[in-house]
């Protein structure tokens, strides 16, 4: 097997394992602390440090990866996640809002170190001049990651019901630690490491395309999380009276389907754009289509249509369109990135991604508590419109993909 493909598969396997724990811990925290009596806004605040330190980590992580190698930053992320999982195994009396926020801060740092490292490694492992392979590899990596995050939602919710909160955390920490050891032994050192030591100021991109794409990414992911993180699971549990396992299973299936569409997006984009690869116009078109969906769901709920059917059907369509939006963005950042600065360019971009998640998470709890799920949906539509407007500045990649 080609060494580049072998290393890509190892990176992907490590990313998959981490992602399952990330999805599981998210569902565990939302459901368990809601059960303990936390309000929707308090549950959202538990993720405040998770998202905030994700912003900081992406800013610093790309620079760090360029200095010490992406494989090392990936393994640091895995180690921090093990610590974060074990921190939550303490007695309930210790689980104050601030303590859980600190544990989630470590988890946020871990998640974004791992994600930045895995995605930036793809370009380093594929090499220059292979844009068709790059789009395919990054779509498969991102799509499969999201499918497994959905599996993590199910695993977290099901284990919470079957073996309890703390035993679930012990199982997740043990499995991830084993994966950390295995991937550390198998991966080469120095992937993505720059020959010269980059200055921290080089993290901020001088390329307008990367800056505009990063701004659009902020609003794109804020649009998802403003209703998906807190509002939707709490609504399903407390208003529609779904069980923990039903909530976890539904959200798991949604994210798995979303990931499958994301992995298949290269074929979908080719068919819908005459065989051409993604460019700025592609991002704009799909963003406009996405904006119609949360607005339509909100109108249907307001008019007292069958809420369960509206949410399930609307979420299916939202998953498809959002997945294609995300995959196009994930390709464009790697296409726009300088080959020798890929870690820093990707880190800067995912800093904006984390910022959008931070804004969406906080708003999800506050807007749901103040205006209900319909309010969250209208905020989502407004965020997607902002992403579409920012995408007006996106050019075609310098080198267009050559699909075969």
What are the pLDDT digits (tens) for 34-50? 778 877 777 777 777 88
**Alpha carbons 206 and 132: distance in angstroms, whole number:** 25
The per-residue pLDDT for range 177-229, each reduced to its tens digit, is 999 998 888 876 655 454 555 555 555 555 778 888 888 999 999 999 998 87
Lowest mean pLDDT among 47-61, 239-253, 286-300: 47-61
Task: Name, of 57-61, 202-206, 247-251, the range with top average pLDDT.
Answer: 247-251
Q: What is the pLDDT of residue 126?
A: 58
Sequence-distant (6+) residues with CB within 8 A of 187 are: 7, 10, 11, 71
Confidence of residue 101 (pLDDT cuts 50, 70, 90): confident
Q: What is the pLDDT of residue 123?
A: 62
Burial class (CB in 10 A: 0-12, 13-18, 19+), 338: middle
Q: What is the pLDDT of residue 402?
A: 36
The pLDDT of 124-150, averaged and rounded, is 65
The overall average pLDDT reported for the chain is 79
**Alpha carbons 71 and 119: distance in angstroms, whole number:** 11
The pLDDT of 137-159, averaged and rounded, is 77
Q: What is the pLDDT of residue 377?
A: 94
**What's the token pair of residue 297?**
């769901």
Q: What is the pLDDT of residue 258?
A: 79
Integer angstrom CA distances of residue 328 from 90, 216, 241, 404:
42, 12, 36, 18
Q: Which CATH superfamily is domain 3-186+201-393 in?
A: MFS general substrate transporter like domains (1.20.1250.20)
The pLDDT of 137-157, averaged and rounded, is 76
* DSSP summary character for residue 196: S
Domain boundaries, the chain: 3-186+201-393
Confidence of residue 397 (pLDDT cuts 50, 70, 90): low
Integer angstrom CA distances of residue 67 from 79, 191, 197, 224:
19, 10, 6, 33
The per-residue pLDDT for range 278-315, each reduced to its tens digit, is 777 888 889 999 999 999 999 998 888 888 899 889 98
Beta-strand runs (E) in 10-152? none
The pLDDT of 68-75, averaged and rounded, is 76
**What's the token pair of residue 210?**
């990367």
**pTM tops 0.85:** no
The per-residue pLDDT for range 349-395, each reduced to its tens digit, is 778 888 898 889 888 888 988 888 899 999 999 999 999 999 888 87
> Which of 91, 90, 92, 60 is closest to 77 using CA atoms?
60
Residue 50 contacts residue 105 (beta carbons within 8 Å): yes
Q: What is the pLDDT of residue 188?
A: 66
Count of positions (residues) in the chain: 404
Please state, as a whole number, how many other Cβ atoms lie within 10 Å of the Cβ of residue 59: 22
Lowest mean pLDDT among 50-64, 106-120, 181-195: 181-195
**Alpha carbons 80 and 75: distance in angstroms, whole number:** 9
Residue 394 contacts residue 279 (beta carbons within 8 Å): yes
pLDDT tops 70 at residue 270: no
């Amino acid at each position: 097997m080609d060494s580049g493909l072998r290393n890509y598969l190892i990176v992907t396997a490590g990313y998959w394992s981490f992602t399952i724990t990330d999805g599981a811990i998210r569902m565990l925290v939302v459901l368990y602390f809601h059960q303990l009596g936390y309000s929707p806004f308090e549950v959202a605040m538990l993720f405040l440090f998770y998202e905030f330190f994700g912003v900081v980590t992406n800013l610093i992580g790309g620079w760090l990866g360029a200095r010490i190698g992406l494989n090392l930053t990936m393994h640091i992320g895995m180690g921090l996640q093990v610590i974060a999982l074990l921190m939550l195994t303490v007695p309930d009396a210790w689980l104050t809002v601030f303590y859980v926020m600190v544990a989630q801060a470590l988890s946020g740092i871990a998640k974004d170190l791992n994600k930045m490292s895995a995605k930036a490694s793809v370009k380093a492992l594929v090499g220059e001049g292979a844009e068709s392979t790059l789009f395919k590899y990054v779509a498969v990596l991102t799509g499969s990651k999201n499918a497994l995050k959905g599996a993590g939602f199910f695993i977290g919710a099901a284990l919470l019901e079957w073996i309890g909160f703390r035993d679930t955390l012990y199982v997740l920490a043990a499995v991830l630690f084993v994966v950390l050891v295995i991937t550390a032994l198998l991966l080469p050192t120095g992937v993505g490491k720059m020959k010269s030591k980059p200055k921290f100021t080089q993290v901020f991109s001088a390329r307008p395309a990367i800056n505009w794409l990063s701004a659009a990414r902020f609003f794109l992911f804020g649009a998802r999380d403003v209703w998906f993180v807190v509002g939707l699971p709490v609504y399903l549990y407390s208003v529609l009276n779904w069980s923990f396992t039903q909530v976890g299973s539904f959200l798991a299936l949604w994210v798995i389907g979303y990931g499958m569409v994301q992995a298949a997006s290269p074929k979908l984009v080719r068919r819908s754009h005459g065989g051409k690869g993604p460019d700025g116009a592609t991002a704009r078109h799909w963003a406009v289509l996405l904006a119609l969906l949360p607005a339509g769901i909100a109108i249907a709920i307001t008019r007292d249509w069958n809420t369960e059917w509206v949410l399930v059907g609307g979420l299916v369509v939202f998953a498809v369109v959002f997945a294609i939006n995300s995959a196009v963005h994930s390709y464009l950042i790697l296409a726009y990135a300088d080959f020798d600065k890929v870690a820093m360019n990707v880190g800067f971009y995912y800093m904006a991604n984390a910022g959008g998640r931070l804004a969406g998470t906080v708003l999800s709890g506050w807007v749901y508590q103040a205006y209900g799920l319909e309010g969250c949906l209208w905020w989502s539509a407004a965020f997607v419109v902002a992403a579409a407007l920012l995408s007006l500045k996106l050019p075609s990649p310098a080198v267009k993909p050559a699909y075969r």
